[in-house]
Amino acid sequence: MSFATCDLCDHHEDKLAAGTLHVLPPIFASFGKQNTFAGPVRTLKVFEDNVLVRAALETPGNGHVLVVDGGGSLRCALVGGNLGVLAQKNGWAGILVNGCVRDAAELNACDVGIRALATHPQRSFRKGAGDADLKVTIAGVAVYPGDWMYADVDGVLISRTQL
């Protein structure tokens, strides 16, 4: 899949105006080998607990993007090197974390696209709390399971439909 988020915005100004295409604020750092990635979205809502993140990434990704609403917490990491390897092995196109990641060097060796707010060396709790496959809000943008995410070096887009 070849695209540029700038071109997608230019070609779909009507969708931007209608609110069916959104540009996430430029707050996400890039990790992983894939600077450009896209796919249909699966969602998780967790807080400082990555049990559901691991469980999701252990399943076949089939080119999906896992969007993890970690509440924007900067107190621990929700994704690390082992989960990056799982995402790659199981065919996920990418991961977006509204929170932190760790093991940045290991993540950068994975053939997957990853966006997160920051790095943090501490791992998360492991209680298994959270919800899957529901609407989440990432940086003020509603993201639904089945939406499409497009990410490249210029930014991250969320679209209600495949572009």
Q: Is pLDDT of 1 > 90? A: no
Instruction: Give the three-state DSSP class for 36.
Output: coil
Q: Is pLDDT of 108 > 90? A: yes
Nearest to 143 by CA among 21, 54, 2: 21
Q: Residue 45's pLDDT band (boundaries 50, 70, 90)?
A: very high
Model's pTM, two decimal places?
0.97
- Token look-up 């977006």 returns 96
Mean pLDDT of 26-32: 98
> Looking at domain 5-159, does it have CATH number 3.50.30.40?
yes
- 5, 157 in Cβ contact below 8 A? yes
What residue spans define the domains of the chain? 5-159
> For the chain, how long is the longest CA-to-CA vector?
44
What confidence score (pLDDT) does residue 53 get? 98
Q: Residue 30's pLDDT band (boundaries 50, 70, 90)?
A: very high
pLDDT in tens, 112-138: 999 999 999 999 999 999 999 999 999
